[in-house]
Structure 1
Amino acid sequence: MARPRKNNADYFSHDSGMRNNRKIRVLRSKFGSDGYTVFCMTLELLTEADNFLIQIDEVEVEMIAADFGYTAVKLQEVWDEAKRLRLLQIDNNILTCQELNERLDPLLKERQRQREKSQRRWEKSGKTSEKINSTMVKPGSNPGKTIQSKVKESKGNNRKELLPENFQLFKAVVAHFDPKLYETNKAKWLDCYQKLLRIEKVSEHEILNIVKTFREDSFWQSNFQTLLKLRKKNNEGVKYIDVFKAKMNNSNKNGQSTIHEPNIGDVSAYTRESTNGDY
């Protein structure tokens, strides 16, 4: 029997001077030690949650508040301030923490590396098992196509639909785009998402963070309209997934946003790309 795939963690790194972080100081000045306590317990909760995110609604907030020992009103106030300070992210009723995801990303990549290593070992021995992991390649099939989705016949008709059941954050990514564009190119979007994970070695959390950041940017929201753009190349021959990653890294290092600034030569490429609907 295959080992269950683990999508959370047992611990997260905690800086000794975290309480003196400038944003944390704002949280502490407004709510006292309660602000710091709620934030830290939220990080603990996210770390043990599947994919480091929590789907929240009114009832879930009340249950978490009871667990923390605060009122739902107090919890929501702290979360709202943490969101304003960009310590936490709440989008489409999904609570997550970008910095926590970045700290835990090496762990996810190492797990993926171990799964791929196990897969290669099984393939070399000639053994097969659909339950080894989500990226197992069937003998005799194209090794470039992994089992990241399966075909399931919908009830009530003969239409077949690709179900990304191994893509934990795929729906959250798609939610940032026009649903009509996704529905008309569903297979291509799924294939693109799979290749971003397998070929570009980008984690699901990285994809979600990039999509959310650039789709909310005033410049890029009109020039980045489908997921397919991430594997397209600009005039300099660089894939946009790498362009966006570099922009985000520069913004983080410099402390000043450079996300909205297009690369030299990019503007002329937008016109060409818009003709085939692959923004």
Structure 2
Amino acid sequence: MKEAYYFSHDTNARNDEKILCLRADYGITGYGAFWILIEMMFENQDTQLSHKHVKGIAYSLNMEVELLTNIINSCVEYGLFVSDGDNFWSESLRTRKGTYINKREKKVEAGLKSAEARRLKALENSEQTSNFAEQDSNLAQTNGNYAKALLEQNSNTSDVMFEQNLNSVSTELNSEPTKSNKLKEIKVKEKEIFNSSPPKSEISEEGKEYANFFKGLLPPTQKVTEADLKNWADTFDKLVRIDKRSRDEVYQVTEWARKDSFWGEQGNFLSACKLRNKSKDGVLYYDMFLQKFKQRSKSNGTSQGQQVQRPDWVKAKE
């Protein structure tokens, strides 16, 4: 089954001088045959019909071969068709079909570009989802290591406190072993020692200041929750305490990354937690930012942008 096409057709074509001559010779039969031949030409790839096939065309139209042949010859005579002796065609139709094909090709090209854009967008979303999963895994591992270190630290602290308090109890027992009221106080003290729990770790004030500093680097429309601030403060504490990064370096690298055209302006660095996450190559984003910060500082200086007031203790070290 052939594909159905649309081509333009002037609504006043019946009043064209050439058409009027054709109608005068053959009436509505000639006019109808003309448009049927036009449709058949349009369906052919070369937009023409062969004189050898007129017999078959006449049969399909239930017309006499002689009548259809005379109509075709009259169309050539009046300038409606062009003939080279073997084939006949319409120059006007070829022009209109060329315009139609160009428009169709442009639509196809636009459709392909749109499909490619959707494919790339879906691929980007898939990569972002994979990155988020990787970040969650790294964060869980980091939190596990941090919790282990914290328990060891608290355990050591508790052992020291316990030993100090136990020595105090022993001294008090040796100095006043006969006083019952003193013994009662010592027993109460012993109970407090054994029932005491390790001190809980809290976010430092420096971490809180850094979290607010990072918030100030974000666009005003960026939503920031209390949980975000807590996580950013915790990230700063870990960078300084566990990763042994200098405080002023953390501030400088953070400020550069947030003002960088790719990481900051395009929204690729909206959480300070990213600093302790790893890229696909297994490199900490902090180290990646630090390297680029140092390179650009040597050549062009840090990128210019919104000025953010940093804590005095940080500026004093710069």
TM-score with structure 1 setting the length: 0.33
Q: Who wins on radius of gyration, i.e. which is larger?
A: 2
Higher helix share: 2
